[in-house]
Chains A and B, each alone.
Chain A
Amino acid sequence: MKTVPASDGLAVELRDVGYSLDNRKIISGVSFQVAPGETLVLLGRSGTGKTTTLKLINRLLEPSSGEIFVEGRSQLAWDPIRLRRRIGYVIQDVGLFPHWTVEQNVAMVPRLESWPESRVRERVREMLALVGLDGAKFATRKPSELSGGQRQRVGVARALAADPPILLMDEPFGALDPITRAELQREFCELATRLEKAIVFVTHDLREALLIGTHIGLFAEGRLAGIYTPDEFLHSGNAEARAFVDSLHGGESKDRGSPRITGKWGKT
């Protein structure tokens, strides 16, 4: 990796972070650390504060209490614009600029950072190839000419274009059909191990969390109930974790009649 994380080797660290809106606590007491090469999945039901936590990291929201460090520097010491350009951001609705071509979308942060034009073009080609899109075919298209899966591939390419050491992903595959979703999850897993980024990934899908996460942070009612490896999670005694695992088994036996997930992850 080109980018050297701070001395303590952590890309992202939250210390006892809380966020309140109109005197209502959205999250409180959240602490975790993510090192380069790790993928922390924030798992939880809707409305438990996962997305809020993610937006605190790239300072789309400001914490009400606690401290956040990015690459070893307190977030307050960062200029928010500089900070965000070092953090890739992928959201469920993708948010590609509809008036820009795929090429322009992917080149967004490199151009904001005034890379030389030849390097930008080179980088766009690389990124499109990385996410499995043929640059010659797709570079000049507008987002409206892409399928949902292709759009999210472009979204990932855009987030990675300036080679940020940190990647934030908010249910990036949530709006895709199940087959495309499985395809993108699989490819993304492979990409994540190759890229050595620090990734924070929000989902409410346990199957996705088990597949993608090196660690799973379980959110319940605005708090982090625990951080587990995928194996630990499946055997955790935590009630909320059990609820997730049970829903997985229930869904699994009803849908396919096969306990495939237990077979893969169940052994400790």
Chain B
Amino acid sequence: MGEDMNFWNFLINDHAEILSRTWEHLLLVGAAMLAAVLVGIPLGIALVRRQKLRRWVLGAANVIQTIPSLALFGFLIPVPFLGGIGARTAIVALALYALLPILTNTYTGIAGVDPAVLESARGMGMTPRQILWDVQLPLSIAVILAGVRVAMIICIGVATIAAAIGAGGLGVFIFRGVAMVSNAVILAGAIPAALLAIGVDFILGLVEQRLTP
């Protein structure tokens, strides 16, 4: 069964659900990315001056990245406050995945600023805050944004698995399609997810162009 249900038919008949699942998907990714950016960028900046902390934090972020996504969702379910069934757990897991690229790129970008530029900035009497905002961040923004783009793509992909723990999103179609052995239904989840990834990446590319000095 299922093969008789054409993808296009599904698209026409169920476009309302596809749209609402896409929106759900975007909300999951958006919330996770917001958290990852708010934690990852300041933490990445803090790591530049703290060598010991850097080893631990980057190590932990690496370890998280190696956990299979389905397993990470599973691990989080019994965790109090963060876990449980539903969107909150999914957002926490997605944010953890997004953290590594944002963290490493922020650290790499800031640490890569020409030391001569920093020395002259300090030597001419810029305050540490001025150095951060006027020199370090503008000079590393392209690298930081590249990290955000990678994190975004990872998030949009991994978020399809969030449906497994009842968080909704486009993954709902994929799991349903697998259960129904229907390519059409799987595609109804996979194609919008892919388009989402491409579209968001394109928009972030424009932002990157705009912000790069």
> Taking beta carbons and an 8 Å cutoff, which residues of A are in contact with B?
58, 60, 81-85, 87-89, 91, 93-99, 108-109, 112, 155, 158-159, 168
Alpha-carbon distance between A168 and B135 when the two chains are bound, in angstroms: 22
Is B116 in contact with A91, judged by CB distance below 8 angstroms? yes
Is B125 in contact with A91, judged by CB distance below 8 angstroms? no
Secondary structure at chain B's binding surface: helix, strand, loop or mixed? helix
- Chain A nearest CB from B206 CB (Å) reads 19
Interfacial chain A residues near B138, Cβ < 8 Å: 99
Is B125 in contact with A60, judged by CB distance below 8 angstroms? no
Is B117 in contact with A60, judged by CB distance below 8 angstroms? no
Interfacial chain B residues near A91, Cβ < 8 Å: 116, 119-120, 123
Is B119 in contact with A158, judged by CB distance below 8 angstroms? no
Alpha-carbon distance between A175 and B61 when the two chains are bound, in angstroms: 41
- Chain A nearest CB from B145 CB (Å) reads 15
CB nearest to A82 among chain B residues: B125
Interfacial chain A residues near B194, Cβ < 8 Å: none
Q: A84's contact among B125, B135, B213, by CB below 8 Å, is which? A: B125
Alpha-carbon distance between A89 and B139 when the two chains are bound, in angstroms: 21
Is A81 in contact with B123, judged by CB distance below 8 angstroms? no
Interfacial chain B residues near A112, Cβ < 8 Å: 124-126, 130
- Chain A nearest CB from B213 CB (Å) reads 3
Q: A81-B125, A112-B124 are in contact. List 5 more A-B contacts (CB 8 A).
A: A91-B120, A95-B116, A97-B134, A155-B120, A158-B124
- Chain A nearest CB from B120 CB (Å) reads 3
Is B213 in contact with A95, judged by CB distance below 8 angstroms? no
Is B139 in contact with A98, judged by CB distance below 8 angstroms? yes
In the complex, B114 has a CB within 8 A of chain A:
yes
- Chain A nearest CB from B118 CB (Å) reads 8
Q: Which of B88-140 contact A (CB under 8 A)?
A: 114, 116-127, 130, 134-135, 138-139
